[in-house]
């Protein structure tokens, strides 16, 4: 059975092509900075938006036409979705996918029933992976949709909810491991608070840290060697999420001795909700050796929530790829499209346009970033801007060999600092535009 019978295999046709069902820039075989685009991006398609999204919003119900889906939460429907999803991944030449447990598998009335359902679906996922060669980038657990998680999961004041969440993550890790998942993600869900008057923040954060240590311990027990990833997001659904931004996450991981085990999964729309640019979050995590993977999407400055739109902005993609190329790629992470089509884009073909556009935007951004890097325009200028630290007093400062008293003596003798040079911001922005 073919579910997208009117859609051809999406192939690379080059920038001159006028075919909107072809890649114009994403050429999996093309080499950029020594690696193929396939290996550089490790593109992944998310199950939740693409196969479980309905188009509903707080003001209206489902709009998306998904003729294969009977709308039920049955195992049969879930099994059929696996076929649909893998046909989609294959047609798009996407090497990876990722999921929450509850995206792929129906919940149950008891934990046992939910686990049995998950095993049945995992059998089918495994079969589909083996048949197509498509791999699991990461797995995670949905610990925010069910009403039991209204106060959070690991940070819930209800210890039974902590226990349920632990059981759920244990299972999700085991299935991820069985499917060869290369990473396991923790995004906060409802780990945060709505009001501090009713919240013991210290206890909640301690519980979250303990939960993550239990996950690390279980990974060792089952031999899961994948990378753990923590995904920052400042708000939504709670008013204040504990995984606010890269800085807050890294502080949490460092303070709780988790930094050796967990890196970050940075999402564009979450960065902007936190008042940062995506590039800021990428660079901030990368310089600390903690940039593990990205959730590629974009927000809308005029809409103040996590709109999870497909990334089509070449400037943004260039900024992302400057940071990613700078650390030589993302493996074992990748570029996951945590993005959804608009509720007005309700036909299945819109899913193809959306992903083709995102993959092409990243490919273009990467080509532009690689050229900028090859010409050394940014690196040369930045290196020059800091030359005062390459010799003399600057070199001694960086070496840590001077005290406040030494610096005072130096400046008392000199009288005043050397003149500054221009930051050339407008010039450097013009230079970037020359490459676009």
List active site positions: 100, 103
Do 148 and 164 form a contact (C-beta atoms < 8 A)? Answer: yes
Q: If binding is defined by CB under 6 A, does position 291 make contact with ligand XLS?
A: no
Find which of ligand XLS, Ni ion, none residue 191 binds, CB within 5 to 8 Å per kind: none
Find which of ligand XLS, Ni ion, none residue 185 binds, CB within 5 to 8 Å per kind: ligand XLS
The smaller minimum CB distance to Ni ion, of residues 157 and 237, is found at 237
> Phi and psi at residue 309, in whole multiples of 5°?
-85, 160
Look at residues 328, 428, 318 and name the one whose alpha carbon lies nearest to residue 368: 318
Find which of ligand XLS, Ni ion, none residue 173 binds, CB within 5 to 8 Å per kind: none
Helix, strand or coil, per DSSP, at residue 20: coil
Q: Which of residues 332-351 bind Ni ion (CB under 5 A)?
A: 338
Among 103, 204, 243, 267, binds Ni ion (CB under 5 A): 267
Q: Which of residues 84-103 bind ligand XLS (CB under 6 A)?
A: 100
Residue 255: partners with Cβ closer than 8 Å, 6 or more residues away: 209
Find which of Ni ion, ligand XLS, none residue 140 binds, CB within 5 to 8 Å per kind: ligand XLS
Sign of the C-alpha dihedral, residues 339, 344, 347, 352? negative
Position closest to ligand XLS via CB: 187
Among 12, 88, 99, 187, binds ligand XLS (CB under 6 A): 187
Do 187 and 233 form a contact (C-beta atoms < 8 A)? Answer: yes
Do 210 and 218 form a contact (C-beta atoms < 8 A)? Answer: no
CB of 212 to Ni ion, least distance (A): 18
The smaller minimum CB distance to ligand XLS, of residues 153 and 219, is found at 153
Do 181 and 333 form a contact (C-beta atoms < 8 A)? Answer: no
Q: If binding is defined by CB under 6 A, does position 267 make contact with ligand XLS?
A: yes
Q: If binding is defined by CB under 5 A, does position 101 make contact with Ni ion?
A: no
The smaller minimum CB distance to Ni ion, of residues 140 and 319, is found at 140
Among 171, 233, 355, 364, binds ligand XLS (CB under 6 A): 233
Q: If binding is defined by CB under 6 A, does position 231 make contact with ligand XLS?
A: yes
Alpha helices, DSSP H, located in 291-403: 314-326, 348-375, 377-385, 392-399
Residue 263: partners with Cβ closer than 8 Å, 6 or more residues away: 227, 228, 229, 230, 285, 289, 290, 291, 292, 293, 333
Catalog residues that contact Ni ion under the rule CB under 5 A.
267, 295, 306, 338
Catalog residues that contact ligand XLS under the rule CB under 6 A.
100, 140, 185, 187, 231, 233, 267, 295, 306, 338
């Amino acid at each position: 059975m073919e579910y997208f019978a009117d859609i051809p295999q999406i192939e690379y046709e080059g920038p001159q092509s006028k075919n909107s069902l072809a890649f114009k820039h994403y050429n999996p075989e093309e080499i950029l900075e020594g690696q193929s685009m396939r290996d550089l991006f490790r593109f992944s398609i998310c199950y939740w938006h693409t196969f479980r999204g309905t188009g509903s919003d707080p003001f209206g119900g489902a709009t998306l036409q998904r003729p294969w889906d009977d709308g039920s939460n049955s195992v049969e429907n879930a099994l059929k979705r696996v076929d649909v999803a893998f046909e989609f991944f294959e047609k798009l030449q996407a090497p990876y996918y990722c999921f929450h447990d509850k995206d792929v598998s129906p919940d149950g009335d008891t934990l046992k029933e939910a686990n049995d359902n998950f095993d049945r679906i995992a059998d089918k996922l495994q079969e589909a992976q083996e048949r197509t060669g498509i791999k699991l980038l990461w797995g995670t657990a949905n610990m925010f949709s069910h009403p039991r998680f209204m106060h959070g999961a690991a940070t819930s004041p209800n210890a039974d909810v902590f226990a349920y969440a632990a059981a759920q993550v244990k299972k999700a890790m085991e299935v991820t491991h069985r499917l060869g998942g290369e990473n396991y993600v923790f995004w906060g869900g409802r780990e945060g608070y709505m009001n501090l008057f009713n919240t013991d923040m210290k206890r909640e954060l301690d519980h979250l840290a303990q939960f993550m240590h239990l996950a690390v311990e279980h990974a060792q027990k089952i031999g899961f060697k994948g990378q753990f990833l923590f995904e920052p997001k400042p708000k939504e659904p709670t008013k204040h999420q504990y995984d606010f931004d890269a800085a807050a996450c890294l502080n949490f991981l460092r303070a709780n001795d988790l930094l050796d085990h967990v890196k970050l999964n940075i999402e564009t729309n979450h960065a902007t909700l936190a008042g940062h640019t995506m590039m800021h979050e990428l660079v901030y995590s990368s310089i600390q050796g903690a940039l593990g993977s990205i959730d590629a999407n974009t927000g809308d400055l005029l809409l103040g929530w996590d709109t999870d739109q497909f990334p089509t902005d070449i400037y943004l993609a260039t900024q992302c790829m400057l940071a990613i190329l700078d650390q030589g790629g993302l493996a074992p992470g990748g570029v996951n499209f945590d993005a959804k089509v608009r509720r007005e884009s309700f036909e299945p073909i819109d899913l193809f346009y959306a992903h083709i556009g995102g993959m092409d935007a990243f490919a273009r951004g990467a080509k532009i970033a690689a050229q900028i890097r090859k010409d050394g325009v940014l690196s040369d200028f930045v290196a020059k801007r800091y030359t005062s630290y390459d010799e003399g007093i600057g070199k001694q400062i960086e070496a840590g060999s001077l005290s406040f008293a030494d610096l005072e003596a130096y400046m008392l003798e000199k009288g005043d600092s050397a003149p500054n040079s221009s930051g050339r911001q407008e010039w450097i922005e013009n230079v970037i535009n020359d490459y676009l």
